[in-house]
Amino acid sequence: DFCTPSPLTSPVPADKMPAPLLLAALLSPAALLPRAAAPAGNALPAQRRARLPSMAAGGAADAADDEKLAKALKAMTGFANSYCKNTGTTYCSDPSIPAVVIKGLAEHKVVLGAPLCPCRHYEDKAAEAKDGYWNCPCVPMRERHECHCMLFLTEENEFAGDSQKLSVEEVESHTESMGSVL
């Protein structure tokens, strides 16, 4: 049983598939297509659009919420870059993986007030964010350097790349066609 993470890479066994890539595929299969094949616009189902205030409202609320999201994306990108450097970890060799995770963390920061891990299912996201166990960096990462999201990878990890830095522009570029992770 194989999954293909993108048309440009070789098949990966399903049990080795990075969680953020699975997340991206579930949320927007078009995110895995080459940029030219991705559908135009940022169409989201109504129930997902309603979760982000800027997508549910209109006008001035859009601009204010877009500004909050841009600020959170910048903050989470800076945090992730610093955390990689401080812990001696690196990003995944496929930069779209950390980009998806960083975008999800930023959206959770705006909506929930905390960078809740976007790679897990929660019955009650607000309660989980308040509890803090899965807020990035999560307890398993802080205690054992185990990042379920594959955002912070140790050199032993077969998916570890060489980079400890992503720009906000790179995160936006890799996630522009996928919409919200919420």
> Which are the catalytic amino acids?
119
Q: How many CB atoms lie within 10 A of CB 131?
A: 13
Contact residues for 88 (Cβ-Cβ < 8 A; gap 6+):
154
C-alpha distances in angstroms, 84 versus 124, 154, 161, 165, 172?
Answer: 29, 9, 12, 8, 19
- 128 residue type, one letter: E
For the record, the structure tokens of 160 come out as: 């570890």
